[in-house]
Chain A
């Protein structure tokens, strides 16, 4: 019985003991997962269409180390993001926030939609009207002509 009790007590620490080492920083699997999620949202500034997680540039590696050190030290995601933006500007974020600088970017789908509706409306308005419907006598005459 006592043995089972001990097992129960130490079971959670087994999960904690799942340590991983990435770029020279040792952290728990959960911490590594959080660090990866942060790195996925940050742009590598050397090869600008890659994330910090995916890049093999040495600056990206250094930033990965900094992220992991801060995660181990207990910094929250917002603090780490702020650290990066403070140094490299909002361009470092792969998904930039809505601001004066990115307003046009976020508004562009709506602008495109507006242009589409506008041209549709203009095209409809300027359409040449079809022929006037036939009067009763004209219809009767047509009937006669078509049906000998």
Chain B
């Protein structure tokens, strides 16, 4: 049981990195724009399909393909923000965004179904099926690479937010949207930039998801609830929080599945979430009144 438990912890940490990639965009978008992007699940799936297209038709390795898929997803994010989110009235934006992004998800799902049918796909590469044997554990390369990618991208995102003028604009908007506008920051462009970055990071999460799971256009629905819970636990708007919460969530679930039952894995995680929110209502890394205006 000890070895099995250790394996569950290691698996939880590695898988948590993959979920952090998927959740980072969601928390960033909420942090800046105060909108709940229900389309995040389908963004993950769209990222997986883009990698699949490059792999099958051009023979491009999924990781190398990120050079193409991430800018593409950035463009998709910007277009969706411009076309569907920006027109929403500011006073009802949070509530309406749920409906609008849900509609966006359905439209994207419909297009993907027309293009690819409902058949399940998966990404293939040499590192998907192979693992390295370390200290008695078989560690799959895809999870190791996925975790490394998560760390690299989240650090890059952190550096962008804290070391660049664009990042400062975004952070200013997070802290005080009206104040940022008053000092000359164009909130619309910050929002478009944020949505684009969120979608671009999600492309990476989608690629790793597609290499570790079978997916079809419908696969996003099982993801979105878990991603939402992760960003609540981590603290809405916190990139680091998303990483920590992803790892915590997956470790709790994996350990529960080993010690008790997979049926109770999600329940146990929600129980921990409730306890955390009772002690820290803004999540693990959420800031109190950060958005007070």
Query: Do A and B belong to a common assembly?
Result: no
Tell me the A residues contacting B by CB distance below 8 Å: none
